[in-house]
Amino acid sequence: MKALTLKAPGGLNHISLSDMQDPGEPGPNQIRVAIGASSLNYHDLLVANGSIPTEDGRILMSDGAGTVEAVGEGVSEFKVGDSVVSCFFPQWQAGPACHNVWGFGNTPGDGIDGMAAQYVVRSANAFTLAPTGWSHAESATITTAGLTAWRALVSDGKVKPGDTILTLGTGGVSIAVIQIANMLGAKVIVTSSSDEKLKRAKALGATEGINYRTHAQWSEKVLELTHGKGVDHIIELGGPATLEQSIQSVRVGGHISLIGVLTGRQGEIPTALLMGKQARLQGLVVGNRCEQQDYVAALEANNIHPVIDKTLPFTDLAKAFEHQAKGSHFGKICVEW
pLDDT tens for residues 23-45? 999 999 999 999 999 999 999 99
pLDDT (tens place) for every residue of the chain, 337 residues total: 999 999 999 999 999 999 999 999 999 999 999 999 999 999 999 999 999 999 999 999 999 999 999 999 999 999 999 999 999 999 999 999 999 999 999 999 999 999 999 999 999 999 999 999 999 999 999 999 999 999 999 999 999 999 999 999 999 999 999 999 999 999 999 999 999 999 999 999 999 999 999 999 999 999 999 999 999 999 999 888 899 999 999 999 999 999 977 666 677 788 999 999 999 999 999 999 999 999 999 999 999 999 999 999 999 999 999 999 999 999 999 999 9
How many angstroms separate the Cα of 25 from the Cα of each of 31, 32, 59, 186, 299? 8, 7, 19, 46, 32
Sheet containing 15-19: which strands, arranged edge to edge?
15-19, 2-6, 58-59
With 0-12 / 13-18 / 19 or more C-beta atoms within 10 angstroms meaning exposed / middle / buried, residue 82 is: middle
pLDDT recorded at residue 260: 76
pTM for the whole thing?
Answer: 0.95
Q: Tens digits of per-residue pLDDT, 279-290?
A: 999 999 999 999
Rg (CA), the chain: 20
Instruction: Provide the pLDDT for residue 263.
Output: 63
pLDDT at 241: 85
For 216, other C-beta atoms within 10 Å of its C-beta total 9
pLDDT of residue 277: 97
Give the model's pLDDT for residue 238: 85
> Sheet holding 231-236: strands in order across?
208-211, 187-192, 164-168, 231-236, 250-258, 280-283
Contacts of 315 (CB under 8 A, 6+ apart): 4, 17
Residue type, 180: I
- Residue 238 backbone dihedrals phi, psi, to 5 degrees: -85, -45
Whole-angstrom CA distances from 104 to 24, 62, 88, 235, 315 are: 26, 10, 9, 22, 25
pLDDT of residue 264: 65
